[in-house]
């Protein structure tokens, strides 16, 4: 038997066909697959194209398909789950079980290898999600870049720009973020940032600002302003994780909390800050990094493997995913 997994988002989509031992038999990639920003026809075309390419790559393994799990952004809103079932269901062999979830599930499963827990996702946006021991799902935050997504790459980028402009005006201390931001945008002076940030109405602010989050993380260990931005973000993450935990049904507080997304490029930095917040709180959260790529989390999600088998699955998947 085999499993087909899809990890879809607003910029790119990954899909794999693999054995129940984790061996990757075929893989395919595509562009965005968020049904909230695509027409139903466009969304269906992406899904059918991915599935068709995997079937063509290994027809025999495809006919042995027992599970398809699609973890995709936007599918839990506005009938997105129905669109997945309509687009994918007619392409699957008889008896294949189809499951659909938000892409946060992929990130969680990539860290817990199928076990319940909490995931703090922080990339361009940010969201906190939990799957508890009763099988109930909960989400906290992630209500959009305009007024939420605290701790996201966009949020860190906004804070970096504030620090740069405050330093330029003499309202704040000098910061190494100034040089990093000017270099990122390829300009010589702080005022030169304004036409870049406001000049092109066709470019979404998130795409311009979110990459600055990486500058913040890279400088956080040596620059006071960058370090303060990271500490504030960790405070936001802590509040979201605690809120998600309180909404969930876990038997104790020794719960894995997966830190997933590009913001956590320096995992040790964030784990250290979060451990300081945890100390003395009474919670026993265990902050862990993903053990597989998100599409691997989508593959392991429907399998309900025992811990030893899940570790073996992840090891085999990682060995063969890049082949």
Q: Give per-residue pLDDT as tens, 27-52.
A: 999 998 888 778 889 989 999 999 99
pLDDT band at 87 (very low <50, low <70, confident <90, very high): confident
CATH number 3.20.20.110 is the correct assignment for the domain at 114-290: no
145 confidence band (pLDDT: 50, 70, 90): confident
Over range 219-238, report the average pLDDT: 98
Query: Does the reported pTM lie above 0.95?
Result: no
Which residues, other chains included, contact 79 with Cβ-Cβ below 8 Å and sequence gap of 6+?
Answer: 35
- What's the DSSP call for residue 264? G
Note the pLDDT of residue 265.
96
Mean pLDDT of the chain: 93
pLDDT value for 83? 86
Is residue 259's pLDDT more than 70? yes
> In whole angstroms, how far apart are CA 46 and each of 51, 262, 294?
9, 24, 18
- pLDDT at residue 78, rounded to an integer: 64
Report whether pLDDT(244) > 70.
yes
Enumerate the domain spans of the chain: 2-102+302-321, 114-290
Write out the two tokens for 104. 């946060």
| First-last CA distance in the chain | 21
Residue 272 in this model has a pLDDT that exceeds 90:
yes
At residue 286, does pLDDT exceed 70?
Answer: yes
Quote the tokens at residue 98. 């189809």
- Which 3 state secondary structure label does DSSP give 99? strand
**Cα distances (Å, whole numbers) of residue 61 to 4, 26, 65, 296, 316:** 10, 9, 7, 17, 17
Mean pLDDT of 175-199: 95
Does the domain spanning 2-102+302-321 belong to CATH 2.40.30.10?
A: no
CA distances from 309 to 114, 318, 323 (A): 11, 14, 22
Alpha carbon separation from 145 to 80, 95, 152, 158 (Å, rounded): 21, 41, 9, 11
What is the pLDDT, as a whole number, of residue 82?
A: 87
Q: Is the distance from CB of 60 to CB of 26 less than 8 angstroms? A: no
Q: How far apart are CA 286 and CA 275, in angstroms?
A: 9
């Amino acid at each position: 038997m085999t499993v087909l997994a899809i990890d879809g988002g607003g910029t790119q989509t990954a899909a794999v066909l693999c054995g129940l031992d984790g061996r990757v038999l075929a893989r395919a990639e595509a562009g965005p697959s968020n049904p909230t920003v695509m027409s139903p026809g466009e969304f269906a075309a992406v899904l059918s194209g991915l599935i068709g390419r995997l079937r063509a790559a290994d027809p025999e393994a495809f006919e042995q398909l027992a599970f398809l799990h699609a973890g995709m952004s936007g599918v839990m809103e506005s009938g997105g789950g129905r669109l997945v079932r309509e687009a994918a269901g007619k392409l699957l062999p008889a008896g294949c079980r189809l499951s659909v979830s938000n892409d946060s599930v992929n990130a969680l499963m990539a860290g817990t290898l199928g076990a319940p827990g909490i995931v703090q996702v922080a990339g361009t946006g940010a969201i906190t999600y939990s799957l508890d021991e009763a099988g109930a799902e909960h989400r906290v935050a992630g209500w959009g870049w305009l007024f939420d997504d605290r701790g996201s790459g966009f949020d860190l980028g906004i804070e970096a720009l504030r620090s740069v402009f405050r330093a330029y005006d003499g309202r704040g201390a000098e910061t190494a973020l100034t040089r990093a931001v000017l270099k990122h945008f390829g300009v010589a002076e702080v005022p030169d940032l304004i036409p870049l940030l406001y000049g092109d109405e066709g470019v979404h602010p998130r795409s311009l600002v979110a990459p600055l989050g990486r500058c913040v993380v890279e400088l956080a260990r040596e620059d006071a302003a960058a370090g303060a931005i990271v500490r504030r973000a960790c405070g936001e993450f802590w509040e979201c994780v605690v809120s998600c935990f309180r909404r969930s049904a876990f038997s104790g507080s020794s719960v894995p909390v997966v830190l997933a997304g590009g913001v956590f490029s320096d995992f040790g930095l964030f784990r250290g800050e979060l451990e300081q917040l945890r100390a003395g709180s009474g919670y026993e959260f265990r902050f862990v990094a993903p053990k597989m790529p998100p599409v691997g989390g989508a593959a392991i999600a429907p399998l309900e493997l025992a811990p030893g088998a899940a570790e073996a699955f992840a090891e085999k998947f990682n060995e063969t995913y890049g082949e």
